[in-house]
Structure 1
Amino acid sequence: MKKIISKMMIVGALLTTLSSCEKGFLETNPTDQVSTDVLFSTTKNAWTAVNGIHRLMYNQIFGSQAQGGQSGNMLYMDIMGEDMVFNTASSSWLLNEGKWISHRNPNSGMLFYNYQFYYVIISNANMIIANIDNAEGSATDKAAIKAEALTYRGWAYFQMVQLFGERYVAGQANGGLAVPLVLTPSNEKTPRSTVAQVYAQANKDIDDAIGLFAGYTRTNKSHFNIDVAKGIKARIALTQQNWADAVKFAKEARVGYTLMNNTVYQAGFNDYSNTEWMWASRITSDQTNYFYSFFAYMSANYNSTVIRTSPKSINSALYNSIPATDVRKKLWDPTGTNTAEFPIPTSASSRYRYMSRKFKVADVSLSIGDVPYMRAAEMYLIEAEAEARRGNDVLAAQALLPLAVNRNPSYTLSTNTGAALITEIMNQRRVELWGEGFRFYDLKRTNSSLDRTGANHNVSYANVLTIPAGDKQWQFLIPQDEINIGNGVVIQNPL
Structure 2
Amino acid sequence: MKKFLYSSLVATMFLFSACEKEYLEVQPTDAVSSDAIFTTTANAWGAINGMHRSMYFQYSNQDQAGQGSVMINADMLGEDLVMTSQGNGWFNATYQWSMHRNVNAGSLYFIYRYYYKLIANANMIIENIDKAEGPEADKKIIKGQALAYRAWAHHQLVQLFAERYDLANLGKPGVVLMTKFTTVGQPRATIGEVYNQINKDVEDAIALLDGYNRGDALKKSHINLNVAKGLKARIALSMGDWANAAKYASEARQNLSLMSNAQYKEGFNSVTNPEWMWGSYQLDDQQTYFYSFFAYMSANFNSTNIRTNPKAINSKLYGLIPATDVRKQMWDPTGASIPVPPNGAKKPYANKKFLAKSSSLSVGDVPYMRVAEMYLIEAEAKARLGQADAADVLFTLAKNRDAAYVKSLKTGQELVEEILIQRRIELWGEGFRFFDLKRTNTALDRTGANHDPALTTTSALTKPADSKEWVFLIPQAEMNANKAMTQNEL
Which residue of 2 is the match for residue 273 of structure 1? 272
CA distance in 2, matches of 1:92, 1:355: 18
CA distance in 1, matches of 2:258, 2:213: 21
Q: Secondary structure at the match of 2:56?
A: coil
**Contact 1:74/1:435, CA 8 A, preserved across alignment:** yes
Q: Secondary structure at the match of 1:279?
A: strand
How far residue 453 of structure 1 moved from its aligned partner, in angstroms, is 0.5
Amino acid at match of 1:315: N
Does 1:50 pair with 2:51? no
Which residue of 2 is the match for residue 421 of structure 1? 415
- For residues 250 and 64 of structure 1, do their structure 2 counterparts lie closer, same or farther at Cα, with a shift above 3 Å needed? same
CA distance in 1, matches of 2:87, 2:263: 33
CA distance in 2, matches of 1:176, 1:459: 36
**Runs of 4+, deviation exceeding 4 Å:** 1-4
**Contact 1:380/1:403, CA 8 A, preserved across alignment:** yes
**Contact 1:459/1:465, CA 8 A, preserved across alignment:** no
**Contact 2:176/2:188, CA 8 A, preserved across alignment:** yes
Which residue of 2 is the match for residue 38 of structure 1? 36
Q: Secondary structure at the match of 2:360?
A: coil
TM-score normalised to structure 1 length? 0.93
CA distance in 2, matches of 1:90, 1:368: 21
- For residues 438 and 132 of structure 1, do their structure 2 counterparts lie closer, same or farther at Cα, with a shift above 3 Å needed? same
How far residue 173 of structure 1 moved from its aligned partner, in angstroms, is 5.3
Which residues in structure 2 correspond to 1:326-405 (within 5 Å)?
A: 326-336=325-335, 338=336, 341-348=337-344, 350-392=345-387, 394-405=388-399
Amino acid at match of 1:191: P
Amino acid at match of 1:39: I
CA-based RMSD of the aligned residues comes to 1.4
**Contact 2:14/2:50, CA 8 A, preserved across alignment:** no
Of the candidates 196, 207, 213, which is equivalent to residue 217 of structure 1? 213
TM-score normalised to structure 2 length? 0.94
**Contact 2:163/2:169, CA 8 A, preserved across alignment:** no
Of the candidates 189, 192, 197, which is equivalent to residue 193 of structure 1? 189
**Contact 2:220/2:279, CA 8 A, preserved across alignment:** yes
Residues 459-487 of structure 1: per-residue CA shift (max 9 Å, x gap): 21122100000210000000011111012
CA distance in 1, matches of 2:12, 2:393: 49
Residues 391-439 of structure 1: per-residue CA shift (max 9 Å, x gap): 22x3210110110000000001101122221111000000000000000
Amino acid at match of 1:474: W
Which residues in structure 2 correspond to 1:14-29 (within 5 Å)?
A: 25-26=27-28, 29=31
- For residues 295 and 41 of structure 1, do their structure 2 counterparts lie closer, same or farther at Cα, with a shift above 3 Å needed? same
**Contact 1:87/1:461, CA 8 A, preserved across alignment:** no
Which residues in structure 2 correspond to 1:466-485 (within 5 Å)?
A: 466-485=462-481
Which residue of 2 is the match for residue 459 of structure 1? 453
**Contact 1:73/1:114, CA 8 A, preserved across alignment:** yes
Does 1:226 pair with 2:225? yes
CA distance in 2, matches of 1:173, 1:260: 39
Does 1:434 pair with 2:428? yes
CA distance in 2, matches of 1:240, 1:6: 37
**Contact 2:380/2:419, CA 8 A, preserved across alignment:** yes
Which residue of 1 is the match for residue 438 of structure 2? 444
Residues 11-62 of structure 1: per-residue CA shift (max 9 Å, x gap): 7x6xxxxxxxxxxx41674xxxx5312210010111010001000001012x
**Contact 1:313/1:355, CA 8 A, preserved across alignment:** yes
Does 1:10 pair with 2:24? yes
Q: Secondary structure at the match of 1:345?
A: coil
Does 1:143 pair with 2:157? no
Amino acid at match of 1:26: P
Which residues in structure 2 correspond to 1:169-208 (within 5 Å)?
A: 169=166, 171-172=167-168, 174-208=170-204
Structure 2: runs of 5 or more not aligned = 1-7, 17-21
Does 1:60 pair with 2:69? no
**Contact 2:41/2:129, CA 8 A, preserved across alignment:** yes
Residues 87-141 of structure 1: per-residue CA shift (max 9 Å, x gap): 1113211101000000000111111111110000000000000000000011100
**Contact 1:157/1:202, CA 8 A, preserved across alignment:** yes
Of the candidates 104, 109, 127, which is equivalent to residue 106 of structure 2? 109
- For residues 3 and 318 of structure 1, do their structure 2 counterparts lie closer, same or farther at Cα, with a shift above 3 Å needed? closer
CA distance in 2, matches of 1:257, 1:161: 30
**Contact 2:155/2:235, CA 8 A, preserved across alignment:** yes
Which residue of 2 is the match for residue 492 of structure 1? 487
How far residue 362 of structure 1 moved from its aligned partner, in angstroms, is 2.6
- For residues 263 and 212 of structure 1, do their structure 2 counterparts lie closer, same or farther at Cα, with a shift above 3 Å needed? same
Q: Secondary structure at the match of 2:389?
A: helix
Amino acid at match of 1:121: L
**Contact 1:257/1:277, CA 8 A, preserved across alignment:** no
How far residue 246 of structure 1 moved from its aligned partner, in angstroms, is 0.3
- For residues 145 and 199 of structure 1, do their structure 2 counterparts lie closer, same or farther at Cα, with a shift above 3 Å needed? same
